[in-house]
Amino acid sequence: MTIFMPRHDFHVSIAQVDYKQQSLQMTLRVFTEDLEDRLEEQSGLDLDLGTPTEHEKAPELIAEYLREVLAFEADGMELPMRYIGLEVEYELSYLYLEFPCVEPPKELLVRNQIFFDSFEDQSNIVNVKVGEELRSAFLSPGEGETILEF
Amino acid sequence: MSGFSNYLRLGYEHILSLDALDHILFIVALMAVYQTKHWLKVVIAVSCFTLGHSLTLSLGAFDMVKIDKSLIEFLIPLTIVLTALFNMTKAGQNVNSKSKYWIAGVFGLIHGLGFSNYYGMLVMGDGNYWQALLPFNLGVELAQLLVVLIMLVIMGIYTLIFNRKIRDWNLFVSGAAFGLALIMCLETWPF
């Protein structure tokens, strides 16, 4: 009998993005379990993220997946993505990324579709700070990208 | 949209998903003995519930409360079982007593522990603690008040239009909540 008890799953990711030193610097917070399950399912590997036995291919797989689901377009130009690394703190994982962008964006298209292919109720919040201005995007399978104006 | 409304939406949508069925079931059991005209008492009781679980889930984010997860998963449906049983007692059916507020608040603490791992997600640790938690909790409260509103309408239809007694309603609702929650308890039995 496993029909009734709700699983208390919280399918959420939250990203903090700061425009600094001519780039959008992103910390993306995800649940470690969600990330590991998604990547292991695709690759068939045992990844052990954030442990001493982490698979050597893990960074490559993470970067590849992030390139699939994440993107920024600043004033119509798609920004290149640089994956910096991963920090695992128990249930939470912090993914660090950088998107070089010479001028501070005025109109920023934000796409974050991470785990949309895992959960139909996934919600991704992306908070972006340019100068003193803070904007926030709420992305879900119904709306996978949105435009923020600064 | 601003960050505030996004976190509000997150809390609201979360309560209205099937993943939070036990949350809704508790509220339904909590308000089973009231009539539509007691709506203010129901709102107070549900707000006590929100206060209780906001408190522990906020503490969870601070890492102050670390309790065995499997125990919490068992205690949550147990609160529903106990609330439904209390509805069968004379004291539990006294709508003028404040006992329901206390039950809501104290049991809310337990429900909040089930949320505690969410809070690490909501708080990035750079001073935006309340920026995320406050609107999230408000969203939770709004969703719960929507559940209350829907239940009050159904109760109103039952008692006013079909002219049935709230006692029968209480038996039906508390019985259903008891049955479902008892199965949840057996499923999550940790001992």
| Backbone dihedral angles phi then psi of residue B75, each to the nearest 5 degrees | -65, -30
Q: Are A70 and A97 in contact (CB under 8 A)?
A: yes
**Closest alpha carbon to B118 in A12, A106, A138:** A12
- Kindly state the average pLDDT of the residues A22-29: 96
User: What phi and psi values does residue A125 have, to the nearest 5 degrees?
Assistant: -100, 130
Q: Mutation test of the interface with chain A: which of B71, B118, B123, B182, choosing the one with the most A Cβ atoms within 10 A?
A: B118
Between A and B, how many CB-CB pairs are < 8 A? Answer: 76
> B62: Cβ–Cβ under 8 A, 6 or more apart, which residues?
none
ipTM value: 0.89
Taking an 8 Å cut-off on Cβ atoms, the answer to whether A6 and B18 are in contact is yes
**pLDDT value, residue B1:** 54
A6 has a pLDDT exceeding 80: no
Measured CA distances, A113 to A71, A119, B53 (Å)? 9, 11, 30
Name residue B28's amino acid: V
B168 in contact with chain A, both atoms CB, cutoff 8 A: no
Contact at CB, B121 and A12, closer than 8 angstroms: yes
In angstroms, the Cα distances linking B121 to A15, A49, A80, A117 are: 10, 18, 27, 20
Q: Do A5 and B114 touch (CB under 8 A)?
A: no
Q: pLDDT exceeding 90 applies to what percent of chain A?
A: 87
Q: How confident is the model at residue A114 (pLDDT cuts 50, 70, 90)?
A: very high
For residues A139 and A113, give the distance between their C-alpha atoms in angstroms, rounded to a whole number: 7
Quick one: average pLDDT of A75-92?
Answer: 93
Question: CA neighbours within 13 Å on the CB side: how many for B76?
Answer: 27
Q: Tell me the two tokens of residue A13.
A: 């990711």
Give the closest of A4, A6, A125 to B6, CB-based: A125
Structure-block tokens of residue B133? 């938690």
d(CA B115, CA A52): 29
Residue B161 DSSP one-character state: I
Provide the pLDDT for residue B64: 58
Give the pLDDT confidence score for residue B157 in this predicted structure: 93
Q: Rounded CA gap, B121 and B102, in Å?
A: 29
Counting as low any pLDDT under 50, the low residues of chain B are none
Q: pLDDT at position B128, please?
A: 64
- Mean pLDDT estimate for chain A: 93
Cα A148–B3–B4 angle (5° rounding)?
Answer: 140
Task: Kindly list the residues from chain A whose CB atom is less than 8 angstroms away from the CB atom of residue B118.
Answer: 10, 12
Residue A57 has pLDDT above 70, yes or no: yes
Query: Does B186 sit within 8 Å of A8, measured CB to CB?
Result: no
Contact between chains at A14 and B122 (C-beta distance less than 8 A): yes
Q: Is the pLDDT of residue A80 over 90?
A: yes
From the list A7, A29, A137, which residue is nearest B124 (CB)? A29
Among the residue ranges A1-10, A56-65, B104-113, the one predicted with the least confidence is: A1-10
Task: Confirm if B61 and B179 have CB atoms less than 8 A apart.
Answer: no
| Optimal mutation site among A1, A10, A34, interface B, most CBs of chain B within 10 A | A10
- Among B138, B127, B137, B144, which Cα is nearest to B58's? B137
Q: What is the pTM of this model?
A: 0.89
DSSP state of B98: S
**Cβ neighbours of A6 in B, within 8 Å:** 18-22
Chain A residues with beta carbon closer than 8 angstroms to that of B60? none
Q: pLDDT per residue over A122-140, tens digit each?
A: 999 999 999 999 999 999 9
Q: What pLDDT score does A81 carry?
A: 97
pLDDT at A1 (0 to 100): 44
Stretch 79-138 of chain B: residues touching chain A, C-beta under 8 Å: 114-115, 117-118, 120-122, 124, 126, 132
**Sheet strands side by side (includes A145-149):** A77-78, A70-74, A107-112, A145-149
pLDDT score of B131: 82
Helix axes A58-69, A32-43, angle to 10 degrees: 100
